[in-house]
Amino acid sequence: MTTTAVKSRHLIGLKGMPKSEIEAILDRAGYWEAQPVAASSALSGKFVANMFFENSTRTRFSFEVAEKRLGAEVLNFAAAASSVQKGESIYDTVKTLESMGIHGGVVRIKAVGVMQELAERIKAPLINAGDGNNEHPTQALLDLYTMRKHFGAIEGLTVSIVGDIRHSRVARSNLWALREMGASVRFCAPDNMRATELAEYAPYVGIDDALQSDVVMMLRVQLERHEGGLFGSAEEYRAAYGLTEERAGRMAPHAIIMHPAPVNRDVEIDDALVECGKSKIFEQMANGVPIRMAVLERALLG
């Protein structure tokens, strides 16, 4: 894993971001969420390029809604229909758009380390929309925003992140940000889905212990990143680590369920729980827009 850092107005990761800066973004998102009108001219005249070198639905549309709500001119880039298919490097693609005058870029990419390299060579501020299994900072920020809205504060919360920790950029960004904000983070995963390098920052616990938390955050089993399969079947995984209705019944009355989505219903979480009273899954998606508005404003206006 590369070292991530916030450099200038880029947002490459949350590792190393101070509590005061995280709080400032959450506060600004609260401002945008409270606005009675959907559209603003805050980024009028600014060109933002969405450069997704990896498939995405929620994150890309969430950024696009945020950009349009701020009045930005939006350019959407699809790797499948670009010169990347002709062999052009990702750096040259981003540099080309910068040369054309974009004021900022949102980048999703598979390779770990490329975001940091781009941030060091590209002057236009870049926002990481997910890089490999490294970081997904805006997802973690919207997760923290959702927790703060529900509990009033993040400090003192116990958050258990359950599932495919090894392949999860969401788990890593949440780990760094939650620790900085004073929460206690625990992981729960089968041995072959553990990221052993993270164990010094968050202990691994069994599923029964994970349920005894303020927040139970389920992760999608990323089947597309597995080679040869890491468990026998979806049913086997659900039985061992899924949030079933029976297990949810053992959570504390005040506890909430979170998931970054997309959801594998009846695999990591039972279908009946996705929209239950404890679930914040669709609220998380809604909160992504004001969080990304705050992040875009920070990047483009300083």
186 appears as a binding residue in the annotation? no
139 appears as a binding residue in the annotation? yes
Three-state secondary structure readout of 159-199: EEEECCHHHCHHHHHHHHHHHHCCCEEEEECCHHHCCHHHC
149 appears as a binding residue in the annotation? no
Comparing CA positions, the residue from 237, 220, 217, 235 lying closest to residue 278 is: 217
8 A C-beta contact, residue 288 and residue 282: no
220 appears as a binding residue in the annotation? yes
86 appears as a binding residue in the annotation? yes
- The secondary structure element, H or E, covering residue 287 is helix 281-301
Helices 169-180 and 137-151 pack at an angle, to 10 degrees, of 50
Q: Determine phi and psi for 107, rounding to 5 degrees.
A: -125, 130
Residues 6+ apart with CB under 8 A from 287: 29, 33, 142, 145, 146, 149
116 appears as a binding residue in the annotation? no
247 appears as a binding residue in the annotation? no
8 A C-beta contact, residue 254 and residue 214: yes
18 appears as a binding residue in the annotation? no
177 appears as a binding residue in the annotation? no
292 appears as a binding residue in the annotation? no
**Within 10 A of 18 (CB to CB), how many other CB atoms are there?**
10
Q: Which positions make up the binding site for carbamoyl phosphate?
A: 58-59, 108, 136, 139, 261-262
Q: Which positions make up the binding site?
A: 58-59, 86, 108, 136, 139, 169, 220, 261-262
Q: Which positions make up the binding site for L-aspartate?
A: 86, 169, 220
